[in-house]
Structure 1
Amino acid sequence: MTKVLIAVSEWGYWGEELIGPLEACDKAGYEVEFLTPTGARPTPLAVSMAVDFVDPPQGKSVVAKDMAKKTRDLDASHRLDKPRNLADWVPARPYPSSATYLRDMEAYWNAVQRIVTQDLLAYDALVIVGGSGAMVDLANNQRLHELVQGFVRLDRPVAAVCYGVATLAFARDPLRKLSLIRGKRVTGHPIDYDFHDGTGYEGPHAIDGSNKGFGDGYINFGPPAYPLEFILRDAVGPDGEFIGNVGHNESVIVDYPFITARSTESSVGCGRALVDVLDNNVRRYGW
């Protein structure tokens, strides 16, 4: 049976950006396993379940009633209760200042090699879910970067939605320091769709001793922590291309092994493309 690993932020994921790929996997009969940075149960962003929310840059609602309900139903189920703990699975990369740096790096690369050549063989694809939380604990997560590089080494697809695409930009060989998407065609959240204010984070993290997130479960960081479009344009280099498809109803790009989806509205398309890649050997789509 085809098995897909889905990485989800612990700081708030956008409901549809999980539902789209997940439903496609379920419909195709794939087995799905969830992964979070520390093994905590992921939290959907409240705004991704609010059908009356009007997206400021686009001037329209981006939350359909059926997707809001599916997000609530998934959150109310037990399906996300026990995600795999990334921190327990992949070791932290040693600091160069370590007194035993060379020996530490030898042990590190041995562990990564074992994970790639043994553990990852159980999975046919990796999906990275978007939402503002992905900026916090997925984009610059070196453990997740090792998994991305592992899937690429195994010639297996990696799909990412919205701000989850940032992980692909930052995943790179620590010696060469070139992004894995250099020379590729990708899409992602364009600057045209970025908030001026209201980029929020939610999750089971507490600063007040409670278990309600940031006291009331939400904090507004204003604009996004970074302009994803600019990061992607730089990461793909002169031989690649960022394709925002601003104004189009959907933007999904397949430049194998990568499948990238612009934002919420492209989440279902991301799932469709993932199945096409896995079942129909599609290697190029959308450009």
Structure 2
Amino acid sequence: MARKNAKKILVILSEYGYWGEELVGPLHHFDQRGYEVDFATPTGKRAHALPPSMDPEYIDPPLGKSVTSEKVAELTRRIDASDRLDDPIDIAGWLPERPYTADDGYLRKLEAYHHAVDTVAQELDAYDALLIVGGSGPVVDIANNERVHQIILAFLAADKPIAAECYGVTPLAFARDWENRGRSIIYGKHVTGHCKEYDYKDGTGFLGTDFVIGPPPYPLEYILRDATGPEGRYHGNFGKETSVIVDYPFITGRSTPDSYLTGEKVVEVLEDGLRRFGW
């Protein structure tokens, strides 16, 4: 139950599967503090956990071991079977789509678009932080989702914390002001995210489809290295058990083992004014 005057968090989940621990880890810390949490998905469909993230017997190919404990598997199954993720905010119904320049009445449509985006930005002011949960699903419906990018930009403009895990970090690299598309919002920043050593060579799958591929369609590490530029840095921290980087307003977690620590750092940013960690 949320406490009076509790912080409020917006959590974005993929409709093509989130990794269980990357939700239940941060939620553990949010719930412990009595934060209010709202969930959102790209088209308002209920999000579900990827099956391997609920199976302690599943061996992660790059690591050669299980990355899901019995406890986390049970917590994931519990939230997946509950009604907590029912009726998420429909991002597509909440934010408009930017018109094509070839559309009839482009100028009027663009003005209406900016007006609607400004209205949503005012509504987002009710939230204290944003979290984008990882897993393979975000590759499909979050990474290059311009509506998600607009939400990120609104939090950035309001100087509020933006947390992301694993492949949920990708839209931070792709979110750009339309007038400054040459530079990512994480340019000059320190971040972490799914490193090359953790990428599958085969079997990257997505919920709701039989579309299973080999490696992910892009190496996130390379994208983040390019997006942060010479004045920033990507931290893979491969060989270290955890990798969470705070370079305010961004809190980024590398992968599954970093989920609880990511949530912990979000709380420290909100409650204690943490601005830098992990580098």
**What interval of TM-score do these two structures reach, taking the shorter chain for normalisation?**
over 0.9
- 2:143 maps to 139
AA matched with 1:146: Q
Q: Provide the TM-score with structure 2 as the length reference.
A: 0.96
Q: Provide the TM-score with structure 1 as the length reference.
A: 0.94
SS of the equivalent of 1:143 reads helix
- 1:55 maps to 60
AA matched with 1:27: Q
Which residue of 267, 277, 280 maps to 2:272?
280
Q: What CA distance in whole angstroms lies between the structure 1 residues aligned with 2:92 and 2:104?
A: 23
Which residue of 199, 202, 205 maps to 2:204?
199
SS of the equivalent of 1:277 reads helix
SS of the equivalent of 1:278 reads helix
Which residue of 158, 163, 187 maps to 1:159?
163
- 1:129 maps to 133
Which residue of 82, 86, 97 maps to 2:91?
86
Q: Which runs of 5+ in 2 are unaligned?
A: 1-5
AA matched with 1:23: H
Q: What CA distance in whole angstroms lies between the structure 2 residues aligned with 1:27 and 1:107?
A: 41
SS of the equivalent of 1:126 reads strand
* Mapped pair 1:101 → 2:106: yes
SS of the equivalent of 1:122 reads coil
- 2:34 maps to 29
Once superposed, which parts of structure 1, at least 4 consecutive aligned residues long, lie more than 6 Å away?
Answer: none
SS of the equivalent of 1:275 reads helix
Q: What CA distance in whole angstroms lies between the structure 1 residues aligned with 2:51 and 2:211?
A: 12
Q: What CA distance in whole angstroms lies between the structure 1 residues aligned with 2:119 and 2:78?
A: 37
Name whichever of 253-262 and 59-68 sits farther off. 59-68
AA matched with 1:2: K
Which residue of 268, 271, 277 maps to 2:263?
271
AA matched with 2:135: G
Q: What CA distance in whole angstroms lies between the structure 1 residues aligned with 2:72 and 2:278?
A: 24
Equivalences for 1:204-283 in 2 at 5 Å?
A: 213-214=208-209, 218-283=210-275
Q: What CA distance in whole angstroms lies between the structure 2 residues aligned with 1:273 and 1:233?
A: 23
